[in-house]
Structure 1
Amino acid sequence: MAAFKGLNLCKALTPKICGPSARLFGNGTNPLYQTTPHAKFFPVSDGPMLLPGTFNNKVAFITGGGTGLGKAMTTTLSALGAECVIASRSLDVLQKTAEEITQQTGNKVHAVQCNIRDPASVEAAVTQTVNEVGLPDVVINNAAGNFISPSEKLSPNAWRTITDIVLNGTAYVTLDIGKRLIKAEKGAAFLAITTIYAESGTGFVVPSAAAKSGVEKLCTSLAAEWSRYGMRFNVIQPGPVKTKGAFSRLDPTGKFEETYLERIAVGRLGTPGEIANLAAYLCSDYASWVSGAIIRMDGGEYVNMAGEFNSLKHVSKEEWDKLEAMIRSTKGS
């Protein structure tokens, strides 16, 4: 890499992000440059893509459905005909979201209080769901918890808090509903929302990385074991999608927001609606042959970060000419 000494690759990136074609938006923290010039090739299209009525006469159970990605997925499924049940600890937030989506789509959304860290609470919430609307046809494990911290500062309680929500909570919901489905001889589509670092691992959110990885193994294992009962299990790994809840704990000062675009190949963040469309497809009958899949949806962030030489795309033409001359002058090596 000696040939690159003196080349300021970071400087080459700055006008691409901060130039006149960039757009700003904010969501409770400092504004973020949402697009780079080449993002025009990758426009957002996040209205429901499936046919109206795709989920008619189907019940969907969504954890963490009151806010963020959960709210977006609930909105899309409801717009496509599903009778949705959203579950989390904050009943006030759930009820407000349920009323909002019901008014928007015309399909009833139910709010059920549930602490997924507590098996008894999960059992009560699922029983309430079954009594009010029936066994779910769609189950989306979306509820999560996370915060940034050096691992040496983690207490046993901090570790337990995240793993109880992410891994144990997903297991409690999945096993409770799955056992009822088996007894009733009824199939269903299960979906879990994880993250790209469930695959790679990452520092500073180690409990989340470990728990999300466990969720993925739970889903792929059950995709093999419970297919005989008519159940499918799939996973979405979203890249950076700005939601207030997630970013308030992962980037509380807004300091790291601008670095996201440098990592994302298509030059923009994802939107909740884009994730919701993929979720709806995977939970629909159109995807009845998709099970055990882990789908990365991150605008090319993972592959862009993984490639050792990908940063060379910021080298200017003039710098490439210099490099070429240096390489051609090197002999015998």
Structure 2
Amino acid sequence: MLQQGTFDGRVAVVTGGGSGIGEAISRELARLGAKIALVGRTRDKLDAVCADINAAGGTAKAYQVDIRDRSRVEAVIDSVIVDFGRIDHLVNNAVGNFRVAPEEMSPNAWNAVVDIVPDGTWHCTQTVGKHMIERGGGSILNIGSTMSKQGGPATVHSASAKAGVRAMNKSLGTARGRYGIRVNVLIPGMTEGTTGAEVLHQTEEAFDQAVSGVPLGRLATRKEIAQAASYLLIALIETAHGVPDARTMASTPGVRRLVFGGHIGFCEQRVAEVKDQPRRPTTSRKSSHRSANSPAGGCRRGKSQRS
């Protein structure tokens, strides 16, 4: 757990901050000293969370907006910058989800999720990203879903949308690194007290089956996810190679995965390569083998004998 004051002087924008994981992240960042801009569609929920944070001595303000509307997103981000003077962190948590069989899915049902998840995430990320580039850095965290890796018979729209966010995350990591902007995705497992857990596992049998796949034998808590999110957002991750009680897995170059409690959740970090970074000269295995068995000058044995 990070210490209080870790985020002092920092400003974080959290979409979908009025409930579930977004609310937990907002409360945790506020506890750590960040000023919070809560973004969402339901004003009452946003105001309630803001009231609690402010009553506890923190600083939070609500901004009602539908992130599917690009012009409204730009206006809200401008307002946040005017109100707080800066944006250091962006958490893309807003989501839409429901169960529907692929053959019964209407175009509107597909768009209802896609317009929020990849499109809304992009609207917020690009808009805030421009500000971060001007400021010289920042961090962006996308909240993903295990469906982006494993899919589901009644969640084709959600799985496709979240897979798009994962691909966006990796691409932006390589593009934004040169500006001092870190882009990460945190993919929680099934988490208690969230709409996703209720919507996707509506029967007791489905719920028990989901829990049986978790080595710890329980769901993740919103507080656990919020703590992991805070760790990824702060600059400490730049020198970190893992977290306590986490299993580090090898992956493709430039990507780290941290697995919390088995299926509790994992994150991917894409580290952009710095163009001007000096590289150590390398020698291929083939050339190394040849030079080790050849006389000085690198000539093959047969050719040197003929000369």
- Whether the aligned pair in 2 keeps the contact of 1:270 and 1:299 (CA below 8 Å) is no
1:149 is the counterpart of 2:100 = yes
Cα deviation for residue 249 of structure 1 reads 2.5
Shift of residue 82, structure 1, vs aligned partner = 0.3
Instruction: Give the direction of change, closer, same or farther, for the CA distance of 1:64–1:294 in structure 2 (3 Å limit).
Output: farther
Alignment partner, residue 35 of structure 2: 83
Q: Which residue of 1 aligns with 2:74?
A: 123
* Cα-Cα RMSD: 2.0
- Does residue 68 (structure 1) correspond to residue 20 (structure 2)? The answer is yes
In 2, the alpha carbon distance for the partners of 1:270 and 1:287 equals 22
Asked if the contact 2:216–2:261 (Cα under 8 Å) also holds between the matched residues in 1, the reply is no
**Structure 2 unaligned spans of 5+:** 241-253, 267-307
Q: Hey, what does 2:220 align to over in structure 1?
A: 270
Deviation at 1:65? 0.5
Equivalent position of 2:229 in the other structure? 279
Aligned residue for 2:139?
Answer: 189
Higher helix share: 1
Question: Aligned partners of 2:84 and 2:130: how far apart in 1?
Answer: 18
Question: 5+ unaligned residues in a row in structure 1: which ranges?
Answer: 1-48, 304-333
Partner amino acid, structure 2, of 1:84: I
Residues 60, 162 of structure 1: CA spacing in aligned structure 2 closer, same or farther, 3 A cutoff? same
Q: Could you tell me whether the CA contact under 8 Å between 1:62 and 1:141 is conserved in 2?
A: yes
Distance across 1 between alignment mates of 2:160 and 2:259: 17
Aligned partner (choices 197, 206, 209) of residue 256 of structure 1:
206
3-state SS of the aligned residue for 1:84?
strand
For 1:256, what is the secondary structure of its paired residue?
helix
Contact 1:195 1:212 in 2 (8 A): yes
Amino acid at match of 1:54: T
1:13-36 CA-to-partner distances (Å, cap 9, x unmatched) read: xxxxxxxxxxxxxxxxxxxxxxxx
- How far is 1:297 from its partner? 4.1
Matched, 1:176 2:127: yes
String of CA shifts for 1:173-196, please: whole Å, max 9, x gaps. 0001111222x2331110001112
Give the length in aligned residue pairs: 253
Aligned to 1:237, the other structure's residue is in SS state strand
Aligned residues: percent identity?
A: 35
Instruction: Choose from 290, 300, 303 the match for 2:263.
Output: 300
In the alignment, the residues of structure 2 paired with residue 294 and residue 173 of structure 1 have an alpha-carbon distance, to the nearest angstrom, of 25
CA contact (8 A) 1:239 1:299 kept: no
- Output one character per residue of 1:148-168: Cα deviation in whole Å (capped at 9) or x when no partner: 111111000100110111110
Matches of 2:48 and 2:204 in 1, distance apart? 28
Question: Is the CA contact 2:219–2:264 (under 8 Å) kept in the aligned structure 1?
Answer: no
TM-score after normalising by structure 1: 0.72
Change in Cα spacing, 1:266 to 1:147, as seen in structure 2 (3 Å) is: same
